[in-house]
Structure 1
């Protein structure tokens, strides 16, 4: 069976790829400038909210550089290895980090310098500071160097200083973060552990945590994805209205659901079973359906089918449809995201909505017909797979 740390690295990467699933649809309607504005608003709102939750979960508190770096080590903005952050703390007020490998840069470099500058300058400047100010509003992140790379093969891919200046003006809490902090996802129960209450470890890896703390951390990583998706849809809604935001949210969910499932199915989840057993295993651990405190999700494997159902939960009580569980619950038939997950396991799989059991809101049956024609991959999944993260291989550091 796959260990929790391996699963955690997949969750961090899946969270990072959520934007790859949503932004192509924004780019089509808003162009590069509009996409940058939405990305900035999205991350500035989500990052401070989930950073503080992570601090509580693993018992590390403070207002120094080490505390900032601890949060970054468990951030979907910095998935291990794909975004290979390296850290050095000089003292409580000064530190630096650099990226030995930046998967996001590998994604945008082929698109040209306008996209590189958009990500590495226009988006990162305000969003990095928003991440830092969750710990200390007088912290600033400033580049020593960053792309476009000169020369073209320059390493590290970028290098940043982090400085806390007690005389600096305190940055205000981003307005979007204050709003997002009121949602149910932001206030989901937190299981507190003290595993990272001690000294900062620049070589921290998920295996450093106890099984109980790691399980809690994985729930938080998945919740980061829900918060980021909600923040994304909120940013779109402010420009285009809720209906358009929800429509893009459906596409985003479908894209990331399929790509995450493609990666999960490569793990040793249930290699001894057939296609249905593997579908059940992927549905059970898929990050879109964690944490269970926010998504009441059940999976039952039977002889001829797999049944999954969604119960009443906080993910359905946000007051709108700008949450992944609400998107699933509002769909009149089998949501394309569920089909994308099943097809990642076996393209002959089929999904249909069935009568929900007592206490459930929606239920779906998954079957596999060995004589059926393989389904084509959903366009949303194909768009998301443009990212190098879709097929990235973890090798260890």
Structure 2
């Protein structure tokens, strides 16, 4: 039996605002983590970590979302719907535009690629690493969840020539029985054995006002406000699980390179969490218009993807404190397992994002602890890990209102 979602207390409008924020937060995880991978292992090894990380998680969480929103299939439309609900392709920041020729042939291009704009200042090697070395195997892995005879191939992609070329890239998506099947990814079995992947969430109430699923036509842009409250709660919880599954896969990739140095592995994971924890908290706080005080900080903690979904991370919010207990997330070694009274930097980053005068006071054991938020007279300096993550344009990204139009075969 699943535990009631902490997102269920939000209104339908608040959820429609929060879901794209969560998708963007998931994409920004690597803006935090890969910086520490480069400093520890170098650029080439960082590329391999990213490939293993996404390939080991995206087919699993893609299939979960398909089942949750009732759009399972074997065609390009199913693949495109999945991308619209994938932390690897958050709306607008990674502005995928889709064309469907028929069930087996389609294209997409990116009118705006926030990830590209993040790495272009780093030089052509980094652009090729992301747009060639990482994209080729991970697009195949994403398609694997839908049809193993799918090929995602570039028409053009960066480095951009000329330097301001638009769209940023264009790809074909073709499913053909003559194509060889995409090979199985070994780490999928390991990630699929995680508590995160096996987490059961409440079913969507089909009688709730609004869309209960995504079984209808592919839309140009998802109007999250069209979904029911129940559907949005499920989507929010699934998006948080996407992040945790990505971290299970990331942990495997890091462990493979730090077999004799557990301290280094923990340091990379901890710095990654600290950076994304602060950036995520700032975005959630602003998006929902929460107060810049202790109550607002506790509310941000309660809604933070580090501590969700409720069926995976055991958390209880009381009037003036939040309690964390041993949970499946600890068994998987995901984010919350890195936090304790002796390792509180991610929590300090979260409360400081609400107001730099706030501090988190933790008490308890390594796995069972309580946090209270207090106000001080001194503003905390921003952590270097948060500053690194804020280099991404996604940290300050502003979503715009768009019309959601059905896409028909052309």
**TM value normalised by structure 2:** 0.89
C-alpha contact 2:360 2:371 (8 A) present in aligned 1 = yes
- Alpha-carbon distance in structure 2 between the residues aligned to 1:197 and 1:243: 46
Matches within 5 A, 1:94-243: 94-193=105-204, 195-241=213-259, 242-243=262-263
- C-alpha distance in structure 1 between counterparts of 2:89 and 2:136, whole Å: 15
Change (3 A) 1:188 1:118: same
* Equivalent in the alignment of 1:71: 82
Q: Secondary structure at the match of 1:19?
A: helix
Contact 1:46–1:231, Cα closer than 8 Å, also in 2: yes
Corresponding residue for 1:309? 323
Task: Specify the SS of the correspondent of 2:323.
Answer: strand
Residue matched to 1:374:
379
- Aligned residue runs from structure 1 range 190-339, under 5 A: 190-193=201-204, 195-241=213-259, 242-271=262-291, 275-302=293-320, 307-318=321-332, 322-328=333-339, 331-339=340-348
**Distance in structure 2 (CA, Å) of the matches to 1:206 and 1:221:** 13
- For 1:348, which of 341, 345, 357 is the aligned residue? 357
- On the 8 A contact 2:341/2:364 being kept in 1, the answer is no
Distance 1:287 1:205 in 2: 22
- Runs of 4+ aligned structure 1 residues displaced above 6 Å come to none
Paired position in structure 1 for 2:5: none
Q: Match of 1:390?
A: 395
Shift of 1:17: 0.4
Q: CA deviation at 1:244?
A: 2.5
Other structure's SS at 1:350 match: strand
Gapped regions of structure 2 (runs ≥ 5): 1-10, 205-211, 403-410
CA distance in 1, matches of 2:363, 2:368: 11
Q: Which moved more, 1:239-248 or 1:163-172?
A: 239-248
Give the root-mean-square deviation of aligned CA atoms. 1.6
TM-score, normalised to structure 1, is 0.92
CA contact (8 A) 2:97 2:220 kept: yes
State the distance in 1 between where 2:288 and 2:254 align. 38
User: How many residues are paired up?
Assistant: 381
Unaligned 5+ runs, structure 1: none
**Equivalent-residue separation in structure 2 for 1:12 and 1:94 (angstroms):** 26
